[in-house]
């Protein structure tokens, strides 16, 4: 029978901001015992919520045995779970709109069940930095967007220089920021190189608008003003670099022939459409005339890659996406230093950067701090719930057609190249007055929070395994274990809090839930279980990632 809720209680989203040893037996050395790690369950959940699409008790136990660094190394060694092979296995006769749903389906399968959780989570972070979106020109190109996301997955722990080249030449980016079929100047026909990608690669993907110190603070001139990283002449110089590239294996440069095959291949150069003149780049560098398109591109990307801003810029963006909205200057500086040199003389090692972010003391402070943590994105809140309660459907699909409407975000569904929210967003009031930011709160509008809260209500009280009337594609959760112990209010709260909060539940929230459950008869075990999960997943404590 479908669950019926006994009472109504809506909660609003708010911001809450080895030792190893050896022994002997009288002289004969013994093998040292395995190292032990002093990691509590709550601390394990904190770490796993930074590194996965939702902490699980089994993985927390594994982490507590392995330790943080070994867990990271193990994750980085796992093969990538990709999306495009699944999409390519489906009949191509179906409408592109359906294939966009299929793209979301396989994204959820890998986010929820992929063994390479850290790689998947980092790729999602990169997808919010190097933004392309299904919304707009790529709406009918699911192969291309899926291929682009796979490229982020494969390169999640690679080198930043390689990544920006792959981003630059991917046809999804070529279409999204209009570099594809960008051609050299032709005064007679009023053709000028498109500046869109030239501007956004610098502003949003690499160096930002002003010069930065290694700790992310602004460098100021003698008048105390920030120093711009580039001007219009430099934008034009890069725009001329990015000329002559279009789909691979096409018969013409203008109005090129697109296919499912070349939608996923790096763009190719047509030399006759590339501008071979001199080009002004960053930091006083000029590319001389007469170079090939490939040479110009390599020099231009090297010029960006070696700009001192890239380290702190990427450090801040990744720290914000994984750990905390307001990293200290010291935290940023330490990570940016590893970007500049991974210890082996290599610049741009993203694997080293990710490890530095996650192992830094500031990522796991011993005590709660005022600036600790961040708000979980709605999508991360949902995936954690679904992972904790074995979400599935009768069909086995995760066909969440309205995800962007319900959550305010979806994989590669940002409304524009600036992502779902700005890294600089500060809601009015205490946060802004304190010169802090809370990026995720830009989409936490009253309207959107109502949608999310209502969806969570639907998920708990209808889309669950007790409902016999589920449709094949309904994604439902399973809380039979909670139903079996619902007569014991304390045990029920402990169990749910253990799965969703790592057991770190406040006395206030516990008492509120206990008071509600006391109003529900013991015979309504499923309602008690659903109520407990609902009150936790709509609480500030769940929305807050410490």
In a domain? residue 429: yes
Question: Higher confidence at residue 313 or residue 33?
Answer: 313
In a domain? residue 427: yes
In a domain? residue 183: no
State the distance between the two ends of the chain, measured CA to CA, in whole angstroms: 38
Q: Are residues 398 and 537 in the same domain?
A: yes
Domain enclosing residue 340, as ranges: 310-363
Q: Are residues 453 and 379 in the same domain?
A: yes
| pLDDT tens track for 370-397 | 678 999 999 999 999 999 999 999 999 9
In a domain? residue 447: yes
pLDDT band at 95 (very low <50, low <70, confident <90, very high): confident
pLDDT band at 368 (very low <50, low <70, confident <90, very high): low
Q: Are residues 526 and 478 in the same domain?
A: yes
Q: Are residues 134 and 54 in the same domain?
A: yes
Q: Are residues 252 and 379 in the same domain?
A: no
pLDDT at 92: 82
pLDDT band at 96 (very low <50, low <70, confident <90, very high): confident
How many whole angstroms separate alpha carbon 204 and alpha carbon 46? 29
pLDDT at 445: 93
pLDDT at 35: 60
pLDDT at 17: 30
| pLDDT tens track for 182-241 | 999 998 889 999 999 999 999 999 999 999 999 999 999 999 999 999 999 999 999 999
Q: Are residues 408 and 525 in the same domain?
A: yes
Residue 16, pLDDT > 50, answer no
Residue 503, pLDDT > 60, answer yes
pLDDT at 14: 36
Q: Are residues 408 and 268 in the same domain?
A: no
CB atoms within 10 A of CB 123: 25
Mean pLDDT lowest for which of 27-31, 127-131, 404-408? Answer: 27-31
pTM, 2 dp: 0.93
pLDDT at 4: 44
Q: How much helix, strand and coil, in percent to the nearest 5, is found in the chain?
A: 45, 5, 45
pLDDT at 318: 98
In a domain? residue 131: yes
Pure H helices in 78-214: 84-88, 96-113, 117-127, 142-154, 160-169, 171-176, 196-203
Residue 328, pLDDT > 50, answer yes
pLDDT band at 1 (very low <50, low <70, confident <90, very high): very low
Q: What is the pLDDT averaged over residues 505-523?
A: 97
pLDDT at 44: 95
How many whole angstroms separate alpha carbon 161 and alpha carbon 432? 35
CA 37 and chain centroid, separation = 28
Q: What is the pLDDT averaged over residues 534-540?
A: 97
Residue 287, pLDDT > 60, answer yes
Largest CA distance in the chain: 93
Question: Percent of the chain scored above 90 by pLDDT?
Answer: 89
Q: Are residues 358 and 380 in the same domain?
A: no
Q: What is the pLDDT averaged over residues 239-256?
A: 97
Q: Are residues 414 and 511 in the same domain?
A: yes
pLDDT band at 10 (very low <50, low <70, confident <90, very high): very low
Q: Are residues 407 and 502 in the same domain?
A: yes
Choose one of 318, 340, 363: the last residue of a domain.
363
pLDDT band at 93 (very low <50, low <70, confident <90, very high): confident
Choose one of 255, 288, 305: the last residue of a domain.
305
Contact call for residues 184 and 274 (beta carbons, < 8 A): yes
pLDDT at 329: 97
Q: Are residues 124 and 266 in the same domain?
A: no
Pure H helices in 183-309: 196-203, 232-241, 293-305
How many whole angstroms separate alpha carbon 79 and alpha carbon 206? 27
pLDDT band at 33 (very low <50, low <70, confident <90, very high): low
For residue 147, the number of C-alpha atoms closer than 13 Å in the C-beta half-sphere is 20
Q: How many domains does the chain have?
A: 4
Q: 266-294 burial, b for 16+ CB within 10 Å, e for fewer?
A: bbbbbeebbbbeebbbbeeeebeeebebe
Residue 55, pLDDT > 50, answer yes
In a domain? residue 59: yes
Residue 7, pLDDT > 50, answer no
pLDDT at 9: 32
Question: Percent of the chain scored above 70 by pLDDT?
Answer: 92
Choose one of 287, 305, 323: the last residue of a domain.
305
In a domain? residue 26: no
pLDDT at 6: 39
pLDDT at 12: 33
Q: Is 178 helix (H, G, I), strand (E, B) or coil?
A: coil
Mean pLDDT lowest for which of 22-31, 118-127, 446-455, 461-470? Answer: 22-31
pLDDT band at 313 (very low <50, low <70, confident <90, very high): very high
Question: In the numeric block, which tokens belong to residue 23?
Answer: 């022994």
Chain mean pLDDT for the chain: 93
Q: What are phi and psi of 419, to 5 degrees?
A: 75, -175
pLDDT at 285: 98
* Eight-class DSSP state of 226: B
Q: Are residues 318 and 406 in the same domain?
A: no
Residue 360, pLDDT > 70, answer yes
Q: What is the pLDDT averaged over residues 513-538?
A: 98
| pLDDT tens track for 273-282 | 999 999 999 9
């Amino acid at each position: 029978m479908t669950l019926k809720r006994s009472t109504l209680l809506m909660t609003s989203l708010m911001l809450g901001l080895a030792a190893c040893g050896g022994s002997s037996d009288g002289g004969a050395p013994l093998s040292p015992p395995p190292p032990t790690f002093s990691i509590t369950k709550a601390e394990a959940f904190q770490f796993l919520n930074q590194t996965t699409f939702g902490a699980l008790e089994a993985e927390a136990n594994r982490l507590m045995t392995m330790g943080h660094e070994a867990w990271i190394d193990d994750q980085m060694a796992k093969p990538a779970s990709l999306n495009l092979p699944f999409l390519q296995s489906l009949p191509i006769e179906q409408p592109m709109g359906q294939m966009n749903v299929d793209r979301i389906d396989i994204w959820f399968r890998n986010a929820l069940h992929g063994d390479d959780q850290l790689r998947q989570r980092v790729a999602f972070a990169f997808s919010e930095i190097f933004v392309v979106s299904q919304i707009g020109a790529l709406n009918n190109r699911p192969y291309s967007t899926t291929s682009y996301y796979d490229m982020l997955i494969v390169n999640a722990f690679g080198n930043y220089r390689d990544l920006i080249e792959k981003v630059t030449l991917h046809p999804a980016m070529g279409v999204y920021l209009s570099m594809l079929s960008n051609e050299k100047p032709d005064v007679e026909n009023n053709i000028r190189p498109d500046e869109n990608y030239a501007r956004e690669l610098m502003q949003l993907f690499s160096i930002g608008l002003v010069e930065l110190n290694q700790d992310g603070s602004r460098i100021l001139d003698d008048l105390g003003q920030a120093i711009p990283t580039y001007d219009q002449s430099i934008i034009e110089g890069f725009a001329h670099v990015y000329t002559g590239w279009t789909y691979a294996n096409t018969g013409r440069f203008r109005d090129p022939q697109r296919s499912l095959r070349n939608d996923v291949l790096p763009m190719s150069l047509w030399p006759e459409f590339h501008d071979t003149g001199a080009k002004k780049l960053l930091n006083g560098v000029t590319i001389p005339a007469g170079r090939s398109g490939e040479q110009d591109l390599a020099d231009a990307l090297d010029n960006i890659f070696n700009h001192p801003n890239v380290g702190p810029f990427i450090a801040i963006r990744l720290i914000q996406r994984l750990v905390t909205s307001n990293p200290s200057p010291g935290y940023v500086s330490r990570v940016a230093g590893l970007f500049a040199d991974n210890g082996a003389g290599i610049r741009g090692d993203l694997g080293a950067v990710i490890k530095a972010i996650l192992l830094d003391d500031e990522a796991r402070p011993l005590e709660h701090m005022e600036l600790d943590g961040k708000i979980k994105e709605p999508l991360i809140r949902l995936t954690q719930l679904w992972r904790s309660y074995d979400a599935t459907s009768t069909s086995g699909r995760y066909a969440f057609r309205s995800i962007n409407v319900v959550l305010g975000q979806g994989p590669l569904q940002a409304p524009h190249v600036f992502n779902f929210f700005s890294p600089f967003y500060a809601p009015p009031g205490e946060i802004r007055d304190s010169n802090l930011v809370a990026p995720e709160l830009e989409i936490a509008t009253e309207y959107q929070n109502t949608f999310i809260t209502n969806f969570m209500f639907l998920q708990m009280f209808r889309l669950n395994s007790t409902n016999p009337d589920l449709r094949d594609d309904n994604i439902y959760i399973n809380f039979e274990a909670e139903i079996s112990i619902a007569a014991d209010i304390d045990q029920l709260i402990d169990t749910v809090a253990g799965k969703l909060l790592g057991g770190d539940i406040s006395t206030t929230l516990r008492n509120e839930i206990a008071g509600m459950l006391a109003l529900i008869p013991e015979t309504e075990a499923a309602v008690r279980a659903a109520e407990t999960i609902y009150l936790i997943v709509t609480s500030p404590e769940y929305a807050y990632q410490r």
